[in-house]
Structure 1
């Protein structure tokens, strides 16, 4: 697709343009002109599988606009390649083991319950809340306790998350103009660098304190402070800094970004909201959420799976062809930029039917006809291959805890019931803030 057609389309409505291109191509790789450069949009699940599972052929591209921005924030570490990535993954992956995360559900639930309690006054007075901001606080309270052993305060975490918000949104000009070199200033660059510095100003003192007193816990900071390289040396401060910043992003970003979309979706699908309320009322009642509630919240899980389908936080995934290859029937030249888009693939009518863009949790009902035949990469909100997101299991538990906690305490009314548009940023964000008024539900004593 030549740049004269692609660029106006992408600039006008980037996300919908990707969906339309994917549908028109039938999922085949499409070369999209971007002015002085071009990229292949790859949306077919077979091709996606090859790109993600052949990481040596399709590594992360350090010189694309998105990845240059990411590396300016997180440096080298869990989001790098080669030996650096291997070392970081070896150090950090044990923190995300399912058995460890499962054991922390009670602690996360208590932190989320405490954060939800802060909303009682706003609910009692009918004061509108910014649900994105409140979700940030809930996530921060839970994650700082279970992954950082409270070494990073909730207020500090919120400042970090506010800086992350600046970072992912200030990257928009570079996402829309990927051919512009970094030495040419674009709108948003100054805010980007200031936000990165703000994160360092918060985290580096905490990191240095952990080096002085590493402790014997299995929190992120203690783990990094005790970690050793393959030759037995302690990690450099830069390596620790890069891994620490990556971990803060991995453990906070996806949950609150995805869950911000839930409330306008429910407001526009009252029958789905009613069924969700019924399940939470039956399983949880007006009690604090506990670990043993989670297996019985099956419909809640289906709602979240469908939310991830239509609103994946990681909506664009760049790769670079390290060698010539063929995807489908399209020859890919060495050095070509490859763009995967879960947002586009998850909305393709050839994969999800004529109502692919309709919110329908029944797509994920156990035993749903045709679900077993669905290609594994028709749905990949957490990526795939060796770089599959470490935080997937954490999201699946934490998101259910947050939704069940809020809906066991409140009902809500949006101040603007319209479904927001999407905003071009490094992660999929609503084009406006989502504000709502809470109605309190009568609470009962914990069982």
Structure 2
């Protein structure tokens, strides 16, 4: 007996097309501005971006995103041209899809469970305080410092402690961090023009290959040493060395390398970029800064921040949530339609790329009240509702929701508290600070700040 034919896609309408090839020059010159303008044109409607042979769909309404990432997630795997360059860096585990991802994810979930993160929080706090001590020497010169360099260094050292323990020196941690930043930055051209075949040279290709070589020269020896000297530590590498898959097998060196590097990219890169933007947000919103300073002074006092302070830093958490809404670090989430589908009456063609952009969704006036105003209070418990919660996709949603979202919030609160108990920032970069496209959404300009040591406090060490 024949199965009934699904004819929904035959009755569905075609998505409105926007001829993006007419914006080629603008895409090359300022891709983020061009992309933002497209989002405004779409206004939440499902549209198709026409780049000639490449015609991805842009999905931005919360209900539509829920369909792609949750309701019908099996039809929208993380496959296609956008994921190919990333897989060269992180493999096919945490950044992958299919059977291997299903095999590896249960091994990673316990690592990011609240109990394990809490167990290593004190080590992370100690690392953050050490790096802020380093900042003190630079701050007392009165010269501007690079927010990107300093925030990246603090974050990378703290997540290094979480991911691989104390197995590398500070200098080697800096080298690893620099190589990962170089690799992710070099991917920008491949991400924006993902339809260009691999055999055609693109800007950044040589830098990317060189960075991969540097990463492997650091990570593989660390894995080999960890195998020779097993530890009962709670760092990620130690736990993954002990983990077994459903088939009873352990991860090999290449799999361990891919997971560690993938976690660095997902955890360190996005966290560091968010902490660059926070200095811009504080400078542009002095009333918000005043509330943040007051809470940190009241909760933390003159001593360094501790794990016990986290539950009391409520406004600080709301500030960070709003930061990730306003400056959507993970600006685009691509998927590939495995089969034909219909979303809100629009036909999605099998094999097409579907783009979800938190950058656009977080600015929809139909969803967010005054979306271009920086307002941490929108995340106050008494202002939360179901519609807003479903429209906040800073950490994604569905089966692939970011495993490290709790780690980010904990780490970012501690970094903010550690710095602001000792310094007051003065942004030296002229406004406006614009974003630029890469693997994550970094500021286009170099963000420089002067950190003024606080004269009203004698901070305990």
* TM-score interval (norm. to shorter): over 0.9
* Equivalent residues of 2:429, 2:446 under 8 A apart: no
Shift of residue 438, structure 1, vs aligned partner? 1.2
Calculate the TM-score normalised by the size of structure 1: 0.94
Q: Out of 159, 167, 173, which is 1:143 matched to?
A: 159
Aligned to 2:49: 32
Describe the shift of the 1:445–1:74 C-alpha distance in structure 2 as closer, same or farther (beyond 3 A). Answer: closer
Are 1:387 and 2:405 an aligned pair?
no
| Aligned counterparts of 1:275 and 1:417: Cα–Cα separation in 2 | 24
Aligned to 1:119: 135
Calculate the TM-score normalised by the size of structure 2: 0.91
Q: Out of 372, 375, 379, which is 1:357 matched to?
A: 372
Shift of residue 6, structure 1, vs aligned partner? 4.7
Q: Out of 177, 180, 201, which is 1:164 matched to?
A: 180
Unmatched tracts of structure 1, length 5 or more: none
Aligned to 1:420: 433
Unmatched tracts of structure 2, length 5 or more: 1-17
| Aligned counterparts of 2:251 and 2:375: Cα–Cα separation in 1 | 47
Are 1:267 and 2:283 an aligned pair?
yes
| Aligned counterparts of 2:378 and 2:28: Cα–Cα separation in 1 | 31
Shift of residue 125, structure 1, vs aligned partner? 1.9
Shift of residue 258, structure 1, vs aligned partner? 0.5
Shift of residue 238, structure 1, vs aligned partner? 1.8
Describe the shift of the 1:27–1:9 C-alpha distance in structure 2 as closer, same or farther (beyond 3 A). Answer: farther
Aligned to 2:447: 434
Describe the shift of the 1:299–1:7 C-alpha distance in structure 2 as closer, same or farther (beyond 3 A). Answer: same
* Equivalent residues of 2:364, 2:371 under 8 A apart: yes
Aligned to 2:362: 346
Describe the shift of the 1:329–1:5 C-alpha distance in structure 2 as closer, same or farther (beyond 3 A). Answer: farther
Superposed counterparts of 1:232-381, under 5 Å: 232-353=248-369, 355-368=370-383, 371-381=384-394
- What RMSD in Å do the two structures reach over aligned CA positions? 1.9
Query: What's the secondary structure of 2:76's corresponding residue?
Result: coil
Deviations 1:43-100 (CA, angstroms, capped at 9, x unpaired) = 0111101111133100001x31x31111010112121112211222111111110122
Are 1:58 and 2:71 an aligned pair?
no
Query: How many pairs align?
Result: 442
| Aligned counterparts of 1:268 and 1:445: Cα–Cα separation in 2 | 27
* Equivalent residues of 1:58, 1:320 under 8 A apart: yes
Aligned to 1:47: 64
Q: Out of 435, 444, 447, which is 2:458 matched to?
A: 444
Describe the shift of the 1:16–1:376 C-alpha distance in structure 2 as closer, same or farther (beyond 3 A). Answer: farther
Aligned to 1:400: 413
Shift of residue 155, structure 1, vs aligned partner? 2.5
* Equivalent residues of 2:422, 2:459 under 8 A apart: no
Shift of residue 293, structure 1, vs aligned partner? 1.7
